[in-house]
Amino acid sequence: MSDAQKPFLDLLHAQRVWDIELPAFDPATAPSAPLPLFHTWFAEAVAAGQAEPHTMTLATADAEGLPDVRTLMLHDADARGWHFATHATSAKGRELAARPYAALGFYWPAQGRQVRVRGPVTVCSPAESSADLHARSTGALASALVGRQSEVLGSTGELDRASDAAWQRAQEEPDAEVASWTRYVVEPREVEFFQGDARRRHVRLRYRQDGTGWERELLWP
């Protein structure tokens, strides 16, 4: 190990994991379907003071099958699935067009909990995508109006000019449309709930669709 690497490793190894009292989770009491449990865990994460509990990782694969991942916001979780939105012209939008299957990951360290979702992805209607865009803040609309997500940027000055113009338009035209803005739904085929344990006896409960309903099974940690 080089001398330059040692300070980083010392800092890395000094970090504590779940140095708090963690909640118990009895999988025998879990509901027959994953959505109610997700709603409960989300509410408990909020109550526990978890910062930005609505953020999640989205994993996709490109046309060659190479993986990609990023963090974005959950827009809803209902009987259809887990919702998010982005530009159809973005990297993730293009990847979903080529391979409409994705995985989501939520991590709520305030309670030592994770939720993982996997399944096919469907595109919502233009009307629903438009409603999604206009339900958000002025800043979110301005960001969407800038567009060109994932394209190469020539300079920060170019971004400043485009952003200023987009903010002005968003304030003057709050109903402005963005044709590329698209709402997506991950239709769950598998949903896993992970409850961490300080002694590493983690509880993992996986729901899997079996054609007519949900099969529940425990996994080794």
User: Residue-wise pLDDT tens for the chain (221 aa)?
Assistant: 788 899 999 999 999 888 889 999 999 999 999 999 999 999 999 999 999 999 999 999 999 999 999 999 999 999 999 999 999 999 999 999 999 999 999 999 999 999 999 999 999 999 999 999 888 888 888 888 888 888 888 999 999 998 998 888 889 888 888 889 999 999 999 999 999 998 899 999 999 999 889 999 999 99
Backbone angles phi, psi at 108, to 5 degrees: -120, 85
Identify the burial level of 92 via C-beta atoms within 10 angstroms of its C-beta, where 0-12 means exposed, 13-18 middle and 19 or more buried: buried
Q: What pTM was computed for the model?
A: 0.92
Q: How far apart are CA 107 and CA 8, in angstroms?
A: 24
What pLDDT is stored for residue 211 in this prediction?
Answer: 83
What pLDDT is stored for residue 129 in this prediction?
Answer: 93
Angle at CA of residue 159, ends 140 and 172, nearest 5°: 45
- Which residues neighbour 198 within 8 Å (Cβ) at sequence distance 6 or greater? 18, 22
